[in-house]
């Protein structure tokens, strides 16, 4: 940052000031002094010039009101910004609250304890509460509307200061003896604050100031110190929170009067006076520190005694109360910013985020891209790229710090190699703390270098996309960048990285990049080393931590030279890309900022006091004299005699080694050969100096609303020679201007002349000027103009060359050359206008062009995802590929189907359309599309993908494809692996593999039967399996019929089918006895149903059938059921046989057998084991063995000759019984 005094306001009657306070929101300045003096001032910028913004604009007092009400010296003034109130108090203890009404300040409330004097007042961050402390130990907390919330008398304590914590939960009370006590917001004592900065200090001390930054603008890094305490003896400490055990310690070596943080907590101003040893008197100074205790600047202020300091709301000015004057100083902050390829990159903090918001603002298209970066250190730009230097995350040391740009990983392997070197250094004990050495005493002990304190350099393009990153172990305090190298320096060493940007690398080039990485595209050099340009530098960070007495303080580089400045004034010059120390120069001051001109012949140096000087590298090198001192007889334009004060920015021209622009206070000067042009009022930061134009950005204005940068904040200044040449051309003529440009040659001026000559159709001069500025396209254009006959045609071409296309088109149409107008619009890509022009004229040759225009407009809409509009134009332009894409994006599958139907066979678009249908599950349409382009294999794959296996099998058969079988089994096994067996059955069924499906189904049914849970479910499963077998029989029969094709009778073909089935079937049990399981469970359920209905005889007869199914239903269940039914039917002979069978079963346990025997004994002691009637089942079965069918409705044997038979399962029933049913009781198929 740079600071300079800018204004001084005198207080009438030389009344001495005691205090000053600047309202951060509204800009009012309140100052209090002796004899009851209280004034409210306001500085406002009055300017109509858009370019004069910020500090450059003249500022006048728009308010200067004296507030009457105090009689004694006003000692405390404090603002409540939220409620626009001013609170003041004087030496008599009188407190007045002032309010703004119609542009003036009036008394609102008055309070006087009449006991003691107010020492300090503080509003909390929300402006709701004020805390007032009196010298006698009284504390009052009041609300904004004047009500007292609580009061307390602290006995035996003299109070001097008060401060609120940002969350208003804690109050700090500063005592007259220098102690600070921590209280809660209800006035209860918590603890004394540890004051580390006063260790070994003797004598009486008092507190000069306590300021706790409330975080309203965010913090410059997470966990940033924000509570500053300073004592009158110059000692101070900055803490993260009220009981921070490792505060940052300051020794300002001055008598401090007042301290204050700036608006965003990034700079602490400490005001007071310093003993000047040589002049033996005190000098007023303001010292500026970072929150980490690093000293930034010193501002000397005239006058006898400084009493107070206050920052402006934007942090760009500071107000100082000295004697009976208010001095104002302007501040040029060190923003984190850069400029690359028309993009301004800047960073700011927000209260709602821990990270920095880094904005990449493309000024050409007025677009912005925001990235969030943790612990950003700096932004450096060059060419089209920028480097963000950040701290690596301690918790995840290898995590890249760019939040919103995922997808790139650092080269972790090489980072590990670096870490090894670092560990070796730790072992040798050469590591010094490189974290914030400006923190004076106590800092080194407080923060040793932590194991993961690495830093990251992220290479980004101009929209913030990370392209590469490097982890380094040195603190990148100074970073510079050229087109090929990034150089980062700590205080002891510098690191070079030859970065590469992958455009489109071939595999071979990628290999080379990987190799060169190992051969040393990264090097580290210690500042005390003397590299020779051979391979001295290695990637060994260990040596980077060796201490040096003379620290690095600044660096700069061009493509061939690297300059490093040291605190003693030595400047070291190295060559690039092979780093070799070429020369050392000695200055008698310490450089703060360095800059090399475009051919590296001259170095500009801005020192710590803002003085700009130059150093000629080439002439110095040739003279061999390494010292810059008083040179004898310096020629005119000698850089050693050049000096400018109060310089805070400078930029060399990119294309001229003698041109540079510099910022001096609020003026910009342009120098040619060290001669200045007249200054320009501005406070912008210089982005770029090229083509005799300076691009400058008003960062102060942007930072007021960083989320909405405005193009007005980017200003272009033309330098004098460009302005003069333009004026000459306009007013005098081309010949004289040509002579002037000859004397002051520059490509930009020649281009200006060429353009002026073109306007006047002076082709000869234009051609010469284009030759002088090496514009080959311009020369070609002039030649083409020379070949044109018509004067008006030439004029139209020139108008088009200057981009006045509307005018050019009008001229073409006036000449009746519609074709040229159309060509012009085609070149510009303005197809809407092309279409208009084509429609207005007539001609047959326009059809192809018309289609091209329709398609181009379709592309325009499609690129913007306006598919509906695109479809209309593609239809007219007959561009089927894009039309298909639009239909797909619109989910208009009917349209897509129509398109597929309209295409000729084997059209190249059909496979793509087929694929589109597949992705949305439309199988039939996909198959049609694939078949139309003769791709049956793709059609089958689509069916398989969409689980349409029957269709797949059909297609495979139709096109004689072999591979469907393996596919099917593969998918089935996949389903079975996942235990989706019913899906596998369905798959086989759909694919007409009925036998495989039946086998699986039987397996499922058997397993379900073993569980002995729900017999009805088991019956259903067996029925399903049996029906699949019936389907298989049908399939074999029809396949034989289709083979025979009517040559043989139907019976013969059916027979052949059965024979083939017999030959092919390995599993006869399943095929022959398909219905056994279903029958078993059917009769099992029927018997129980009959038993419960009271039809016991029928139940017993049905149960007797179950004896044939012991392989399916466990014997225990069959004979238990038979025993129950027969005993109910009083057929105790059958019952007895059932018990005999039960008792002989081997599967029973002894206990079960015992209980059966006891039950049998109980029954047959009462009833003799004889049947009343002989069972018809027994009598018949004795006669004709197993020939007669069983009725599936009643379970009785059918002895009639006429009975009903089911068409599906081929089971029988008595006709009179089945009439009551609509479905077959066994297989549940509908009755015919």
Three-class DSSP labels, 459-471:
EECCCCCEEEEEE
Residue with the bigger pLDDT between 519 and 986: it is 986
Residue 694 has a pLDDT of 92
At 850-863, the pLDDT tens digits run: 888 888 888 888 88
443 — pLDDT class (breaks 50, 70, 90): very low
Tokens 């803002």 — which residue? 610
Residue 736 φ then ψ, to 5°: -65, -40
Task: Give, rounded to a whole angstrom, the gap between the first and last alpha carbons of the chain.
Answer: 101
DSSP state of 644: B
Kindly indicate the confidence band of residue 411, based on its pLDDT and cuts at 50, 70 and 90: very low
Task: Output the pLDDT for position 271.
Answer: 94
The whole-number pLDDT of residue 428 equals 37
Q: What is the mean pLDDT of residues 865-881?
A: 87
Q: Residue 1084 and residue 1106: Cα distance in Å, rounded?
A: 7
The tens digit of pLDDT for each residue in 13-65 reads 889 999 999 998 888 999 999 888 999 998 876 666 655 666 666 677 888 88
Res 280 pLDDT > 80: no
Across the range 856-883, mean pLDDT stands at: 87
Which pair of structure tokens corresponds to residue 750? 């020649």
Per-residue model confidence (pLDDT) at position 981: 77
Residue with tokens 């455009």: 503
Q: What pLDDT, in 10s, does the model give residues 966-979? A: 667 767 777 777 77
**Of 186-200, 265-279, 430-444, the least confident:** 430-444
d(CA 1033, CA 1059): 11
Per-residue pLDDT tens over the stretch 609-621: 889 999 998 764 3
Distances (CA, A) of 1192 to 427, 539, 1015, 1217, 1228: 95, 93, 17, 9, 12
Please determine, for residue 557, whether its predicted confidence score (pLDDT) is greater than 90.
yes
Of 811-825, 830-844, 898-912, the poorest mean pLDDT is in 830-844
For 129-150, how does the pLDDT look when each residue is reduced to its tens digit (9 = 90+)?
999 999 888 899 999 888 889 8
Q: Is 673 exposed, middle or buried (0-12, 13-18, 19+ CB in 10 A)?
A: exposed
Whole-prediction pTM: 0.66
Q: Is the pLDDT of residue 418 over 90?
A: no
CA distance 1211 to 1189: 8
pLDDT at 768 over 50: yes
CA–CA separation, 661 and 643 (whole Å):
14
* Residue 1032's pLDDT band (cuts 50, 70, 90): confident
Give the pLDDT band (50/70/90) at residue 432: very low
Question: Poorest-confidence range of 248-262, 544-558, 853-867, 1045-1059?
Answer: 1045-1059
3-state secondary structure of 728: helix
pLDDT tens for 1154-1190 read 888 888 888 888 888 887 766 545 544 433 445 688 8
Average pLDDT on 640-659 reads 89
Vertex 1202 angle, CA 1200 and 1205, to 5°: 115
Tell which residue, 1220, 1205, 1197, 1195, has the closest CA to residue 1089: 1195
pLDDT of residue 208: 92
Give the span between the Cα atoms of 948 and 503, in whole angstroms. Answer: 47
Q: Which of 495-509, 648-662, 663-677, 859-873 has the lowest mean pLDDT?
A: 495-509
Q: Is 1232 exposed, middle or buried (0-12, 13-18, 19+ CB in 10 A)?
A: exposed
Q: What is the pLDDT of residue 32?
A: 92
92-101, 221-230, 971-980, 1020-1029: which range is least confident on average? 971-980
- Of 251-265, 389-403, 419-433, 951-965, the poorest mean pLDDT is in 419-433
Identify the band that residue 957 occupies on the pLDDT scale cut at 50, 70 and 90.
confident
E strand intervals along 665-729: 667-672, 675-676, 680-681, 685-690, 693-697, 714-718
pLDDT (tens digit per residue) in 997-1021:
888 888 888 887 888 878 888 888 8
Nearest to 39 by CA among 18, 14, 13, 68: 68
Chain segment 347-405, per-residue pLDDT in tens: 998 888 888 899 999 998 899 999 999 889 999 999 899 999 998 876 654 444 554 43
> What local confidence, expressed as pLDDT, does residue 416 receive?
39
Q: In this prediction, what percent of the chain has a pLDDT beyond 70?
A: 86
pLDDT tens sequence across 71-89: 888 999 999 988 899 999 9
Q: Reduced to 3 DSSP states, what percent helix, strand and coil does the chain have, rounded to the nearest 5?
A: 35, 30, 35
Respond yes or no on whether the N-terminal peptide bond of residue 441 is cis (omega within 30° of 0): no
**Band (555; pLDDT cuts 50, 70, 90):** very high
CA gap 858, 878 in Å, rounded? 10
* Confidence tier at 724 by pLDDT (50, 70, 90): confident
Q: What pLDDT, on a 0 to 100 scale, did the predictor assign at position 730? A: 84
Is the Cα dihedral 285, 288, 291, 295 positive or negative?
negative
């Amino acid at each position: 940052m740079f600071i300079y005094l800018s204004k001084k306001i005198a207080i009438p009657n030389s009344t001495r000031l005691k205090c000053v306070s600047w309202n951060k929101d509204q800009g009012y300045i309140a100052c209090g002094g002796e004899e009851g003096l209280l004034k409210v001032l306001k500085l406002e910028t009055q300017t109509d010039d858009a370019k004069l913004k910020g500090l450059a604009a003249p500022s006048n007092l728009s308010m200067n009101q004296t507030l009457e009400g105090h009689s004694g010296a006003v000692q405390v003034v404090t603002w409540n910004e939220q409620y626009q109130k001013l609170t003041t108090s004087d030496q008599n203890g009188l407190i007045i609250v002032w309010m703004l009404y119609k542009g003036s300040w009036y008394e609102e409330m008055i309070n006087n304890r009449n006991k003691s004097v107010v020492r300090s007042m503080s509003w909390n961050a929300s402006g709701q509460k004020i805390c007032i402390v009196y010298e006698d130990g009284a504390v009052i907390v009041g609300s904004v509307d004047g009500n007292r919330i609580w009061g307390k008398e602290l006995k035996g304590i003299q109070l001097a200061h008060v401060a609120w914590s940002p969350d208003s939960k804690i109050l700090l009370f500063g005592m007259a003896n220098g102690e600070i006590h921590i209280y809660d917001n209800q006035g209860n004592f918590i603890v004394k604050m540890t004051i580390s900065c006063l260790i070994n200090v003797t004598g009486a001390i008092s507190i000069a100031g306590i300021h706790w930054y409330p975080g309203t603008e965010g913090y410059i890094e997470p966990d940033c110190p924000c509570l500053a305490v300073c004592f009158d003896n110059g000692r101070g400490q900055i803490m993260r929170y009220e009981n921070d055990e490792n505060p940052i310690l300051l020794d300002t070596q001055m008598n401090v009067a007042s301290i204050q943080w700036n608006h965003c907590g990034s700079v602490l101003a400490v005001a007071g006076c310093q003993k000047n040893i040589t002049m033996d008197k005190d000098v007023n100074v303001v010292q500026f520190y970072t929150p980490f205790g690093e000293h930034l600047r010193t501002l000397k202020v005239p006058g006898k005694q400084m009493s107070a300091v206050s920052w402006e709301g934007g942090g760009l000015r500071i107000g100082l109360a000295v004697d009976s004057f208010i001095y104002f100083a302007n501040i040029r902050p060190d923003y984190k910013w850069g400029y690359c390829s028309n993009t301004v990159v800047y960073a700011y903090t927000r209260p709602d985020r821990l990270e920095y918001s880094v904005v990449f603002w493309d000024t050409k298209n007025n677009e912005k891209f925001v990235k969030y970066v943790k612990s950003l250190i700096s932004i450096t730009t060059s060419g089209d790229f920028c480097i963000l230097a950040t701290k690596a995350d301690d918790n995840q040391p290898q995590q890249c710090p760019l939040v919103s740009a995922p997808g790139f990983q650092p080269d972790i392997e090489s980072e590990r190699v670096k870490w090894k070197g670092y560990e070796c250094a730790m072992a040798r004990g050469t590591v010094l703390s490189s974290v914030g050495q400006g923190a004076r005493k106590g800092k080194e002990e407080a923060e040793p270098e932590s194991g993961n304190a690495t830093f990251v350099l992220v290479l980004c393009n101009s929209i913030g996309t990370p392209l590469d990153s490097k982890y380094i172990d040195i603190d990148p305090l100074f970073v510079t960048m050229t087109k090929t190298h990034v150089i980062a320096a700590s205080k002891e060493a510098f690191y070079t990285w030859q970065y590469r940007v992958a455009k489109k690398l071939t595999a071979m080039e990628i290999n080379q990049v990987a190799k060169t990485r190992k051969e040393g595209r990264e090097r580290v050099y210690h500042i005390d080393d003397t590299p020779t340009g051979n391979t001295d530098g290695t990637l060994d960070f260990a040596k980077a931590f060796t201490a040096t007495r003379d620290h690095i303080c600044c660096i700069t580089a061009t493509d061939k030279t690297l300059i490093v400045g040291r605190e003693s004034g030595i400047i070291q010059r190295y060559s690039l890309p092979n780093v070799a120390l070429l020369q050392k120069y000695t200055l008698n001051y310490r450089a703060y900022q360095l800059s090399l001109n475009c051919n590296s012949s001259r170095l500009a140096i801005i020192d710590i006091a803002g003085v700009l000087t130059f150093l000629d590298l080439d002439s110095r090198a040739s003279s061999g004299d390494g010292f810059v001192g008083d040179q004898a007889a310096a020629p005119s334009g000698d850089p050693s005699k050049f000096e400018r004060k109060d310089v805070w920015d400078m930029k060399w021209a990119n294309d001229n080694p003698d041109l540079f622009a510099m910022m001096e206070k609020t003026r910009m000067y342009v120098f040619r050969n060290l001669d200045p042009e007249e200054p320009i009022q501005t406070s912008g930061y210089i982005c770029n100096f090229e083509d005799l134009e300076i691009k400058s950005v008003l960062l102060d204005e942007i930072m007021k609303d960083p989320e909405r940068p405005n193009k007005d904040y980017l200003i272009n200044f033309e330098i004098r020679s460009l302005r003069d040449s333009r004026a000459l051309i306009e007013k005098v003529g081309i010949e004289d201007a040509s002579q002037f440009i000859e004397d002051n040659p520059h490509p930009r001026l020649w281009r200006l002349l060429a353009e002026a000559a073109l306007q006047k159709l002076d082709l000869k001069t234009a051609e010469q000027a284009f030759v002088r500025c090496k514009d080959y396209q311009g020369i070609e254009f002039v030649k083409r103009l020379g070949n044109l006959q018509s004067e008006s045609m030439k004029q139209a071409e020139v108008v088009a060359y200057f981009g006045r296309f509307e005018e050019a088109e009008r001229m073409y149409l006036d000449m009746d050359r519609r074709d040229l107008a159309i060509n012009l619009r085609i070149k510009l890509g303005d197809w809407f206008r092309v279409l208009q022009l084509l429609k207005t004229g007539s001609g047959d040759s326009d059809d192809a062009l018309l289609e091209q225009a329709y398609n181009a407009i379709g592309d325009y809409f499609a690129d913007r995802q306006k598919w509906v509009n695109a479809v209309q134009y593609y239809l007219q332009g007959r561009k089927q590929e894009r039309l298909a894409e639009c239909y797909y994006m619109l989910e208009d599958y009917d349209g897509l189907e129509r398109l597929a139907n309209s295409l000729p066979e084997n059209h190249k678009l059909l496979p793509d359309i087929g694929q589109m249908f597949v992705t949305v599950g439309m199988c039939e349409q996909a198959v049609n599309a694939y078949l139309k382009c003769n791709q049956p294999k793709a059609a089958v794959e689509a069916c398989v993908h969409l689980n349409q296996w029957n269709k797949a099998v059909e297609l495979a058969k139709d096109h004689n494809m072999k591979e469907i079988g393996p596919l099917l089994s593969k998918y089935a096994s996949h389903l079975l692996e996942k235990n989706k067996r019913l899906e596998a059955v369905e798959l086989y069924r759909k694919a007409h593999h009925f036998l495989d499906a039946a086998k699986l189904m039987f397996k499922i049914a058997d397993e379900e039967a073993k569980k002995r849970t729900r017999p009805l479910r088991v019956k259903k499963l067996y029925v399903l399996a049996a029906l699949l077998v019936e389907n298989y029989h049908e399939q074999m029969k029809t396949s034989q019929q289709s083979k025979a094709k009517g040559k043989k009778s139907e019976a013969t073909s059916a027979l052949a089918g059965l024979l083939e089935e017999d030959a092919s079937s390995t599993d006869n049990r399943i095929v022959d006895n398909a219905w056994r399981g279903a029958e078993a469970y059917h009769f099992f359920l029927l018997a129980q149903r009959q038993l419960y209905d009271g039809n016991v005889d029928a139940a017993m007869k049905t149960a007797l059938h179950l004896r044939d199914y012991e392989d399916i239903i466990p014997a225990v269940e069959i004979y238990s059921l038979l025993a129950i039914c027969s005993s109910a039917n009083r057929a105790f002979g059958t019952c007895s046989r059932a018990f005999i069978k039960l008792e002989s079963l081997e599967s029973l346990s002894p206990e079960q057998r015992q209980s059966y025997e006891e039950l049998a004994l109980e029954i047959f002691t009462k009833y003799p084991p004889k049947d009343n009637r002989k069972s018809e089942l027994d009598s018949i079965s004795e006669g004709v063995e197993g020939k007669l069918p069983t009725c599936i409705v009643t379970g009785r044997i059918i002895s009639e000759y006429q009975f009903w038979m089911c068409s599906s399962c081929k089971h029988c029933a008595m006709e009179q019984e089945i009439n009551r049913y609509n479905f077959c009781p066994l297989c549940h198929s509908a009755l015919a």
